[in-house]
Amino acid sequence: MVHEDRERAQSVGDTTPSYPPVLRHHTDGRHIVDEQGRPLLLHGRLGSKVVCDRCGCPTQVAICPSCHCLLPQGVEDGALSVAVVGARNSGKTVFLSQLDWQLMHTVPERFGVAVDYPGGTAGLASKLQEYRKKMTDGQRQLPEQTRVEGNRGQAPAVYRWDWGPARKRHASRVISIYDTPGEAVATLQRTTELGHLRAADAVVLVIDPFSLSENRELAREKGIDPGSETLANDVLDGLIGSLRYDDQNVGKGKLLTTPLAIAVTKMDAFWSQFPEGSPLRTTGEAVPYFDEEDSKSVHDFVLSQLQAWGGANLTNKIAANFKTFRYFAVSALGDEPSYRDGRLTGTVSPTRVVDPVLWILSGDRKFLPTDSSQSGS
């Protein structure tokens, strides 16, 4: 008997069953179901094989764990689903717009890699290009607030990073990046509806320094509404709750195994507060590998800076819940905009926006080398 595929219906509005997903079982053979009685799926990393519960063979096609659509070829080589989450106004969309540009333009030159949009510029990638155009043409306009569209139609930006045959082991990754609107993660109830978050291979948590207690007065002086005091914490709670909802994300000692990159945005507004020579004021070198040393020193500085800004509750909660995490300092604009009228005052010169994604790739079965001795191998 063919059942209506309710997860697929919710994600893409199509009730036609796609490829049959592999279901999870209790030891006595009963299906493991969620609180609405829907069977939970067995999934490994995106694109990796799992053993079918019906025929006992490894799966031969890759389907998306949230909408069950057939994934494009090349995903078999390896795929990464990255969810970008953060409170309202924290800078996700501006960050993703600049990340899109860097992935297509500076990354290929720096790493000697080909990056493209498999299937063409569609979904979020095309929106990001539009936002960038508005930011850089005569209008100099910043993106509007991202609308919550329920859990339907969360189209990611999809990139393929292809090392090409120059590498000993020809390897590519299909990277899907989701912009999760602030409001959708602000409550635990909403986050459990976000399938892509539960199934993400890695998460980028965007933190707005203006929302932290020590910077809220400064924010108001500049004409920024710093939002509710608990917003960043609420988003983190929502994220943790959502990941814990699927026990495949929970490892030994009950720590979450999903790698978490914490990107502190809008750093340009704080550069003058940091001492000369601080890694938060530098851009990092454009070396053809992920610079682990540099990243660790940024991590240490950001961690202590967040605590000095009143974010100890956030940092302690992250350490108590995640096995693998790293702090990043990014500026998507490189200069402060006119916050009151939502326009840029100068040109855009982003710094360190690609670092969180590079870290995620370096942790993914060492897809990206972490020092010069491994690069080009």
Contacting positions for ligand GTP (CB under 6 A): 86, 88-94, 142-143, 145-146, 181-182, 265-266, 268-269, 331-333, 336-337, 339, 342
Q: Does 146 bind Mg ion (CB under 5 A)?
A: yes
Could you tell me the smallest distance in angstroms from the CB atom of residue 27 to Mg ion?
A: 44
Choose between 17 and 153: whose C-beta lies nearer to Mg ion: 153
By a kind-dependent CB cut-off of 5 to 8 A, residue 333 interacts, out of ligand GTP, Mg ion, none, with ligand GTP
Choose between 98 and 192: whose C-beta lies nearer to ligand GTP: 98
Asked if 344 contacts 140 with a C-beta cutoff of 8 angstroms, the reply is yes
Tokens describing residue 285? 């070198």
Could you tell me the smallest distance in angstroms from the CB atom of residue 333 to ligand GTP?
A: 4
Choose between 41 and 239: whose C-beta lies nearer to Mg ion: 239
By a kind-dependent CB cut-off of 5 to 8 A, residue 205 interacts, out of Mg ion, ligand GTP, none, with none
Asked if 90 contacts 186 with a C-beta cutoff of 8 angstroms, the reply is no
Which residue's Cβ has the minimum distance to Mg ion?
146
Asked if 113 contacts 142 with a C-beta cutoff of 8 angstroms, the reply is no
Could you tell me the smallest distance in angstroms from the CB atom of residue 246 to ligand GTP?
A: 24
Q: 79-86 and 260-264: which strand pairing?
A: unpaired
Q: Does 265 bind Mg ion (CB under 5 A)?
A: no
Closest CA to 93 of 135, 60, 64: 135
Could you tell me the smallest distance in angstroms from the CB atom of residue 313 to Mg ion?
A: 24
Asked if 147 contacts 101 with a C-beta cutoff of 8 angstroms, the reply is no
Choose between 145 and 347: whose C-beta lies nearer to ligand GTP: 145
What secondary structure does DSSP assign to 137-188, as a single string? Answer: STT-BPPPPPPPBTBS--PPEEEEEE--TTSSS--EEEEEEEEE-HHHHSSH
Could you tell me the smallest distance in angstroms from the CB atom of residue 324 to Mg ion?
A: 26
Q: Cα–Cα distance between 141 and 346 in angstroms, integer?
A: 11
Span near Mg ion by CB under 5 A; candidates 139-147, 202-210, 313-321, 348-356: 139-147
What secondary structure does DSSP assign to 24-56, as a single string? Answer: PB-TTSPBPB-TTSPBPBP--STT---B-TTT-
By a kind-dependent CB cut-off of 5 to 8 A, residue 182 interacts, out of Mg ion, ligand GTP, none, with ligand GTP
Could you tell me the smallest distance in angstroms from the CB atom of residue 115 to ligand GTP?
A: 22
Q: Does 192 bind Mg ion (CB under 5 A)?
A: no
Choose between 75 and 87: whose C-beta lies nearer to ligand GTP: 87
The mark string for 57-96 relative to Mg ion (x by CB under 5 A, - otherwise) is -----------------------------------xx---
Q: Cα–Cα distance between 232 and 329 in angstroms, integer?
A: 16
- Return the SS3 of 262: strand
Tokens describing residue 148? 């919550």
Asked if 320 contacts 256 with a C-beta cutoff of 8 angstroms, the reply is no
- Residues at the contact surface with Mg ion, assessed by CB under 5 A: 92-93, 146
